[in-house]
Amino acid sequence: MAKQAEPDVEAGINYWSTQSADYDGVLGGFGTGSLPRIDALGSRQFALYLMPELCTVPSALRPLRSQPTDQRTRALDVGAGVGRVTCDVLLHLFSDVVLVEPVESFVLEAVARGRRSEQDVPAVAEDANADPIAPWKGIKEKTRSVTFIQGTLQSLEPSHPAASGKVLGRIGYQPTSSELSKNLSDPTAGDIDSGFDVIWCQWCLGHLTDPDLVLFLRRCRVALRDPTAAYIIVKENTCSDSPDGGPRSHLDEEDSSLTRSDMAFKQVFREAGLSIVHEQVQDGFPPGLYVVKMYALH
């Protein structure tokens, strides 16, 4: 039996470098309809189901008794594109986000969007059909922060993201030296190396081979702040399983990425030593697309 073709990281980067650095480009032409908003709302609801203490308004999700804490919450956004998930999901829930993206045009656009929010410069899309560039929550007020890193998932060490790629800067909140001394054994490392409450992986894991994905997820597990209350969240397209119910995957030669079936993902999760805490299908997307599943792991 011939060996199945596998993703090639350089081919994937080359493909995405030809796409526009906006929501439409990173979402394959679905950036100007309802999909981005539906996707973001589904993601935020999924995260709040897992971590209701993140809810900031009175609701059924908010715990009756919240434990007071002065610890800032932290998220890692991998394969982050132009910062869509950071802006529309993570900054609504977490204090500090580290954004990692390999494609230069995408990560530079993410930096530009973040800087405009920091400087309170109105961002008006030149194209009336382009995605609206919303201000990033908490950046102008310096209550929240985003750190930008250009690097691949293959080389990313989530426990030490600053050493895993090119650091392009930080916007918003800046920790004081006393805060770093209190929270870190090595204050010179900065707070971006202090672990994460959530590691968010969306529409990017198809660019990893199965062995690389297993290793990446194992590295992510080590970077979770709390092994019982922090999560790796995977949100990805899924194809159908094989006729016998086993794992299956399909290589898209255009962007050199794998679409895995539900059983294929679960096989990788087991090999990485991870447990599924919760799983859910994303509803409300346009017909004809792959089924998108969300998995919470630790």
pLDDT tens digits for 286-296?
Answer: 999 999 999 99
Residue 194: the pLDDT is: 87
Residue 43: the pLDDT is: 98
How far apart are the two ends of the chain, measured CA to CA in Å? 35
Residue 61: the pLDDT is: 62
Q: Is residue 58 part of a domain?
A: no
Q: Is residue 85 part of a domain?
A: yes
Q: Is residue 252 part of a domain?
A: yes
pLDDT over threshold 90, residue 124: no
pLDDT over threshold 60, residue 123: no
pLDDT-based confidence at 185, cuts 50/70/90? very low
Q: Residue 58 in 3-state DSSP? A: coil
Percent of the chain with pLDDT over 90: 78
Question: What is the C-alpha to C-alpha distance for residues 58 and 5, in angstroms, rounded to an integer?
Answer: 50
List the CATH number of the domain containing 293. 3.40.50.150
Neighbours of 217 (CB within 10 A): 23
Residue 95: the pLDDT is: 96
Q: Is residue 191 part of a domain?
A: yes
The H or E element containing residue 190 is: none
Q: Is residue 7 part of a domain?
A: no
Average pLDDT, the chain: 90
pLDDT-based confidence at 1, cuts 50/70/90? very low
- Please state the domain count of the chain: 1
Instruction: Output the known binding site for S-adenosyl-L-methionine.
Output: 202
Q: Is residue 62 part of a domain?
A: no
pLDDT-based confidence at 60, cuts 50/70/90? low
4-39 residue pLDDT tens: 679 999 999 999 999 999 999 999 999 988 999 999
Residue 187: the pLDDT is: 44
More confident position, 121 or 93: 93
pLDDT over threshold 90, residue 183: no
pLDDT over threshold 60, residue 184: no
Q: Answer yes or no: are the C-beta atoms of 126 and 180 closer than 8 Å.
A: no
Which residue(s) pair with 101 in the sheet?
150
Give the mean model confidence (pLDDT) for residues 98-113.
Answer: 97
Q: What is the largest CA-CA distance in the chain?
A: 60
Give the mean model confidence (pLDDT) for residues 130-144.
Answer: 87
Q: What domain range includes position 100?
A: 17-52+70-297
Give the mean model confidence (pLDDT) for residues 197-217.
Answer: 98
Give the mean model confidence (pLDDT) for residues 200-204.
Answer: 98
Residue 63: the pLDDT is: 62
218-269 residue pLDDT tens: 999 999 999 899 999 999 999 999 999 999 999 999 999 999 999 999 999 9
Least confident of 98-112, 123-137, 240-254: 123-137
pLDDT over threshold 90, residue 136: yes
3-state secondary structure 83-132: CHHHHHCHHHCCCEEEEEECCHHHHHHHHHHHHHHHHCCCCCCCCCCCCC
Regarding beta strands 74-78 and 198-202, do their DSSP bridges make them parallel or antiparallel, or are they unpaired?
parallel
* Per-residue b or e along 35-51, where b marks 16 or more CB atoms closer than 10 Å to that residue's CB: bbeebbebbbebbbebb
Q: Is residue 135 part of a domain?
A: yes
Instruction: Output the known binding site.
Output: 202
pTM above 0.75, yes or no: yes
pLDDT over threshold 70, residue 188: no
Q: Is residue 3 part of a domain?
A: no
